[in-house]
Amino acid sequence: MRALTVEEARQRATDLALRSYEVAFDLTGDGDTFVTTSRIRFGATSSTSWVDVKPERLISVELNGQTLDTGALDGGRFPLTGLQAENDLVVTAELKYAADGEGLQRSVDAADGRVYTYGMSSLESAPRYFPCFDQPDLKAPYTITVKCPGDWIVLGNGAATRTAPGEWTLAETKPLSTYFVTLVAGPYHQLRSEYDGIPLGLACRQSLKEHLERDAEDLFRTTRDAFDAYHRMFRARYPFGEYWQVFAPDFNLGAMENPGCVTVSDDLVFRGPVTDAERSTRSRILVHEMAHMWFGDLVTMKWWNDMWLNESFAEYMAHRVAEDATSYQGNWVDFAFVRKWWGLQTDQSSSTHPVAPDSLKDARQSLDDFDGISYAKGAAVLKQLAKYLGDDIFLKGVNAHLEAHEYGNADLHEFIAKLTEAGARDLDTWSDQWLRTSGVDTITAERTGAGIVLHRSSPDESRRLHKLSLGAYDADGSAASVDVVIAGDAAEVVLGNDAGVVVPDAGDDTWAKIRLDPTSLANLPTVLPAITDGTTRAVIWNSIRDAVADAELDPRQALELFTAALPHEDSDVAVGSLVRWLEERVLGGYLEYDEARGPLADALGSKLATTAPGSSLQLVTARGLISTTNDIALLRSWLDSSAAPDGLEIDADLRWALVLRLVRLGEFGATEIDAELDRDKSTEGVVQASRCRAALPDGKEAAWTRIMTDPSVGVQELLAAADGFWHPGQAAITAPYVQRFFTDIPPTADIRAGMVVGLTTARIAPRYVIDADLVGPAEALVADGSVNSGIRRKTANFLDDLRRALAVRSTFG
Ligand SMILES: [Zn+2]
């Protein structure tokens, strides 16, 4: 099925004016399909158009009382002719439940056999479960009715009322875009609250009930705090009635901002101990989705090229509001270590793009741009803009934008116009430098005889202005800082040149690659532990990671720095982010696995002995040790709880991590995995077992076949299998699959659609195989226009990483 192009969308938005949707769902059938009837009233200034529907079977189409031939459906589009000034269209279709997380997802809970559904419409999935005019700028109010089993509850964008056993009506909504219409139906457990006149709700599978209830007050508190903050910032109150946060199964993103009924991945209902960083991240996801109620839902982009207006704004607001108004702190440290590192890598990849691109990709290709640019870089530049303009002008402009376009659509030019009316000056230059161009400048510190000079080099002619602070640090803990503006290719800084370490952009204010001078690099092992600001440590680590990736710094030096700094590192965000980087990039990537694994495991083992019992640091360190140690006796002793560290609860998820490592070490086989699944008969257990089975030497073929050919595997099981498949310690076992990736991955787009296609590709690409012979096949796949764009994008990312690893190995052998 071809995707909607921007030209088609513009024409249809000109031709049609939507009045209303009445959508009736019948979910009472017991097969893998359901029936939907959409009644759409709309005005038209053209006699022809089309309606989108992707059914198993189109049952009937009636336009202005006339029955049309259902055989006219072609590639998900039903042509409409003879349109009048006002029209009444009724389309009934039998549609298939989804297993890939898009459309109307249906999942069976392994714990109790209960069936759950939820609707995911973004980006082009709405016609998979209701006939509609599927594009962001054709908004209309919705009235939804549902028939379902009598023990189900129903939730959606409008408040739900049960009208009879198994029959529900959702209140008419405000005008909505198709991509954020949802329907939640199943025997969900629900919790209600109310705040400031807004009915609040949480929902999850019955089997997660006790875990949700344990955290409900935390979740409601974050929601209340964020509503207060947004109501202080925005003149418009939350406009969509009730506010539900539904933790949904088999969700392939973090969350989705459906007005009134946000859906959230239910792996964020924590069933055991997690780190503070993970709790904080979950809180930020909730705050992010709440920001979308204004930016995205109340005012929506016209086309997907302006999705950054949604995502960058929500991302910036999530960190700002979480830091200023919730009980979770350290949000900008997390931003620097996790999100910014993601964005900096993306901005140096072959697939980078401007935050606000002109290139008007179709609706399917636009999915690829939900990446480190649209989230992290966009958020970083909005943070910069708010600081540069000051909150008075920034929020005045934002509010004027929201008021001018409420319940409608707007683009970048309209946003900039409102900021300008509010008093902003010279935004054209700013947006050219930060929104309209891609790529990242490098800022390098140099010690001169007189002091310090910062050099700026650019990949293009943008000549970006950088406002930042330069920090100077010594091993005794002394620190100094000076503000710098880099407007030319070099800037002299009024600061002595004798500090142990000098760090450009110590406050993480600008968007740049940072390079330390050689003296600072040499002094880092002794000075880094004395730097108390977590954000500055993140800036240093991003500089180190980036220099390694550029083959400028020996990865052994980075690993040594990590082992030197780890004993002093008190941030679970830092340890988690850096261990992940070492596992994903260094062990088996930049360095031979056997060379790098031991020092990392030793360092984590020593660190673990010093962490406080029951602390986040203990948990994150233990996880890192489990996945890197070769000490079978230790792993076994933790698993049977005979010698687990004091305070470390060996819960179901840590048990699975231990089992996975023992499988990878050849100590455990299918019998032990089955036994563990017998202990943990939950959906989460099934997902964990999927990962472990894919790690079995004799489980590779079965896992590969499932991943590449089985459309019925649920999203979480699928991604877990792909995740468990490759490991640098199993290079010989997985060698036969390396070339098969290039031939077997393209057809997966025929059995799945949407986000999960790319997510699977990223995990099942042979990422630990550092072999120049893979460059050719990868290039050919990326260049093949007949292959799904998500597969090509993720293969391009794989190729970028491969080239970097080859360069690092060739430089540092
Ligand atoms: Zn978002």
| Same-domain status, 340 and 303 | yes
C-alpha of residue 318 to centroid of ligand 1, in Å: 10
Write out the DSSP string of 758-791. HHHHHHHS-TT---GGGHHHHHHHHH-TTS-HHH
Q: 185 is written with which tokens? A: 């139906």
Residue type, 320: R
pLDDT of res. 672: 98
C-alpha of residue 288 to centroid of ligand 1, in Å: 6
Task: Tell me: pLDDT of 52 over 90.
Answer: yes
C-alpha of residue 553 to centroid of ligand 1, in Å: 35
Q: 32 is written with which tokens? A: 């893998």
Judge contact between 718 and 748, C-beta under 8 A.
Answer: no
pLDDT of res. 341: 98
Task: Tell me: pLDDT of 359 over 80.
Answer: no
Write out the DSSP string of 481-504. EEEEEE-SSEEEESS-S--SEEEE
> In this predicted model, what pLDDT tens digit does every residue of 91-105 receive, in sequence order?
999 999 999 999 999
| Same-domain status, 53 and 114 | yes
Q: What is the CATH number of the domain that holds 433?
A: 1.10.390.10
Q: Is residue 360 part of a domain?
A: yes
Q: In what order do the strands lie in the sheet with 66-68?
A: 66-68, 57-63, 86-96, 33-44, 16-26, 142-147, 167-170, 160-164
Residues 6+ apart with CB under 8 A from 477: 530, 532
| Same-domain status, 301 and 158 | no
Q: What is the CATH number of the domain that holds 115?
A: 2.60.40.1730
Residues 6+ apart with CB under 8 A from 653: 271, 272, 684, 688
| Same-domain status, 160 and 218 | no
What's the DSSP call for residue 248? E
C-alpha of residue 375 to centroid of ligand 1, in Å: 8
Among candidate residues 197, 206, 269, 184, the one with its CA nearest the CA of residue 237: 197
% of the chain beyond a pLDDT of 90: 95
Judge contact between 483 and 410, C-beta under 8 A.
Answer: no
pLDDT of res. 250: 96
pLDDT of res. 78: 98
pLDDT of res. 497: 86
Helix, strand or coil for residue 191? strand
Judge contact between 606 and 617, C-beta under 8 A.
Answer: no
- Domain end residue (candidates: 412, 440, 468): 440
| Same-domain status, 292 and 432 | yes
What is the C-alpha separation between 644 and 191, in angstroms, rounded? 36
Q: For strand 441-447 and strand 512-515, is the pairing parallel, antiparallel, or unpaired?
A: parallel
Based on DSSP, count helices (H) and strands (E) in the chain, helices before strands.
29, 28
pLDDT of res. 358: 83
| Same-domain status, 274 and 354 | yes
Q: Is residue 766 part of a domain?
A: no
> In this predicted model, what pLDDT tens digit does every residue of 307-331 receive, in sequence order?
988 999 999 999 999 999 999 999 9
> In this predicted model, what pLDDT tens digit does every residue of 598-652 receive, in sequence order?
999 999 999 999 999 999 999 999 999 999 999 999 999 999 988 999 999 999 9
Mean pLDDT across 212-226? 98
> In this predicted model, what pLDDT tens digit does every residue of 470-506 receive, in sequence order?
999 999 999 999 999 999 999 999 888 899 999 999 9
Residues pairing with 189 in the sheet: 204
pLDDT of res. 496: 85
C-alpha of residue 456 to centroid of ligand 1, in Å: 32
- Domain end residue (candidates: 413, 440, 467): 440
Judge contact between 506 and 470, C-beta under 8 A.
Answer: yes
Task: Tell me: pLDDT of 244 over 90.
Answer: yes
| Same-domain status, 180 and 230 | no
What's the DSSP call for residue 3? P
**Cα separations in angstroms, 716 against 208, 266, 458, 516, 652:** 16, 10, 41, 41, 17
Q: Is residue 301 part of a domain?
A: yes
| Same-domain status, 171 and 218 | no
C-alpha of residue 292 to centroid of ligand 1, in Å: 7
pLDDT of res. 247: 98
| Same-domain status, 230 and 149 | no
| Same-domain status, 178 and 259 | no
Query: Please, where are the H alpha helices in 412-456?
Result: 412-421, 427-434
Mean pLDDT across 705-725? 97
Q: Is residue 117 part of a domain?
A: yes
pLDDT of res. 367: 87
Judge contact between 140 and 117, C-beta under 8 A.
Answer: no
> In this predicted model, what pLDDT tens digit does every residue of 11-45 receive, in sequence order?
999 999 999 999 999 999 988 999 999 999 999 99
The mean pLDDT value of the chain amounts to: 97
| Same-domain status, 380 and 425 | yes
Catalytic status, residue 584: no
pLDDT of res. 382: 94
194-226 b/e (C-beta count within 10 Å ≥ 16 → b) = eeeebebbbbbbebbeebbeeeeeebbebbbbb
% of the chain beyond a pLDDT of 70: 100
pLDDT of res. 98: 97
Which of 102, 124, 278, 289 is labelled catalytic? 289
- Domain end residue (candidates: 415, 440, 465): 440
pLDDT of res. 450: 84
> In this predicted model, what pLDDT tens digit does every residue of 718-737 receive, in sequence order?
999 999 999 999 999 999 99
> In this predicted model, what pLDDT tens digit does every residue of 133-145 receive, in sequence order?
999 999 999 999 9
Judge contact between 134 and 295, C-beta under 8 A.
Answer: no
Judge contact between 91 and 79, C-beta under 8 A.
Answer: no
**Structural domain count of the chain:** 2
User: Residue for token digits 């709405």?
Assistant: 126
C-alpha of residue 284 to centroid of ligand 1, in Å: 11
C-alpha of residue 304 to centroid of ligand 1, in Å: 13
**In the structure, what pLDDT confidence band is assigned to residue 463 with cuts at 50, 70 and 90?**
confident
C-alpha of residue 236 to centroid of ligand 1, in Å: 20
What is the C-alpha separation between 158 and 140, in angstroms, rounded? 13
Task: Tell me: pLDDT of 549 over 90.
Answer: yes
Residue 178, domain extent:
1-187
Task: Tell me: pLDDT of 297 over 80.
Answer: yes
| Same-domain status, 391 and 256 | yes
